[in-house]
Structure 1
Amino acid sequence: MKTCVVTGTGSGIGQEVAVLLSHAKEYNNIAMLGRNIEAMRATEKLMDKMGMDISIWNIDFQYPEEIPSIIEAVYEKYGSIDCLLNIAGYTDPQSLLQTTLDNMEMTYKINVFSPFILMRESVRYMKKNGGKILNVASTAGMTPRPGWLSYSSSKASVISMSQTLTDELSEYGIKVYCVSPGRCATKLRKRLAPNEDPRTIMQPIEVAEVICDLISDEECCLDGQNIIIRKQIRK
């Protein structure tokens, strides 16, 4: 019985991933972590629950200190943690002269510190039998993005953490993946580019399909890279 822990399932990429995972049946148990309980319940209704155990765990990633007890509880419930998907994200785009320490701290708590603690606590259990970790970064973490200081720098950190942990965790048989989507029609993207028509850019399902391919049993050689997911838009 294999268990996947996934964040950000209330909407967008995370929601599409949860639905695809429920149909693929590679993981018997799916633990969805987040603060919007109603949104996660709505996602659960879209999932194929046949032969699966789907659970919802309430946590606000502004408070990463709460993560260890939840990961311990997930392990106690299922007896294993085999996959971790860090998909949840946050942004409040501001320029340097507008950005406050509170803005930076909030962004880093959700985008960097929480994934870090989720990985650390999951690996305590995952190292027994190996597994997979996938972090969702962004192309914003790769190139200059004026006005997006807190967000772009946090995603650069996610890319760096992923690459470092690829080597560090290889001794446990744990593969670490990192994907950097380009423009994708999510709620977060709407905050970054409020005037953009979401119909003209990549859709969450397209990113979700790549993620599910990477964490499948068949994939064995794409870890350790920053995998860019970008759709060519025809005008």
Structure 2
Amino acid sequence: MSRTCIITGASRGIGRAIAVSLSSCEDITNFVLISRTEEGLIETCQLMNGDKNIQYEVADLTAFDDVGELVQTIGNEFGTIDLLINVAGYANPKSLLETSVHDWEKSYKVNVHSIFNITKEVVRYMKKTGGKILNVASTAGSSARPGWLAYASSKAAVISMSETLSEELADYGISVYCISPGRCATELRKILAPDEDPDTIMQPEHVGQVVKNLLSDDGICLDGQNIVVRKQVEKIAKKQVTKQTM
């Protein structure tokens, strides 16, 4: 059976890694990749399985009406939308007193409101046949992150939204997954931790493989949960810091 998958934030990092990983799935035929950066989208397409029907759309996910029209076009072209992967995100880490209202609003507009909007539009199609939605949050959304207030709290909202939608959409045969990657070598991570060596932390490809497994038939009973994805070394480092401060 032919299935259609939409992936946002697909021009780099985790979004790109997920697109490449899922392109090896036999039952996903059509891919629509969305990002604001055309060059990055083209590079992602070139890395994917060339046997797939791959399209890309340069779009601003915060242009809500335009996104609604785009989803309608995709739904009409392919008949169904079976998978939605929400990866696109924004970060500008600041403390409370340094965070402007504009930046606070942008953080929520990109990280929360755009997921709400595209999910709502996709579900209009998906509820007819069922499907799977996966939202990428962050470990920053489930623990204190001083200096990252807007980013961390917006990711907490993604986790809560995912848990609620998992129950709300179950009657339509729609499963909702949420993953919270830990430290991962992405452009976004460079903004959050500019002095960190990217070779010492988890790579986007690791997350891509986890997502592939989650969305396969083996991922049963894992929806509706906040699934933390991180390297074992990260957990060990946290334990060492805790011991040193005791």
TM-score by length of 1: 0.97
Q: Deviations over 1:33-84 (max 9, x none)?
A: 111011000110111121x211111211232332100100111121110010
**SS class of match (2:50):** coil
Match of 1:48 in 2: 49
Give runs of aligned pairs for residues 1-235 of structure 1, distance below 5 A. Answer: 1-50=2-51, 52-233=52-233
AA aligned to 1:25 is: E
Identity of aligned residues (%): 51
In structure 2, list runs of 5 or more residues that go unmatched: 238-246
Find the structure with the greater CA-based Rg: 2
Distance in 1 (CA, whole Å) between partners of 2:98 and 2:64 is: 25
Q: 2:243 maps to which residue?
A: none
Compared CA separation, residues 62 and 124, structure 1 to 2 (3 A): closer
Give the drift of 1:109: 1.0
TM superposition score normalised by structure 2 = 0.92
- Gaps in structure 1 of 5+ consecutive residues: none
CA contact (8 A) 1:61 1:110 kept: yes
Verify the 8 A CA contact 1:62 1:106 in the aligned structure 2.
Answer: no
Separation of aligned partners in 2, 1:231 and 1:68: 37
More helix by share: 2
Shift of 1:215: 1.0
TM-superposed CA distance for 1:99, in Å, is 0.5
Aligned residues: 234
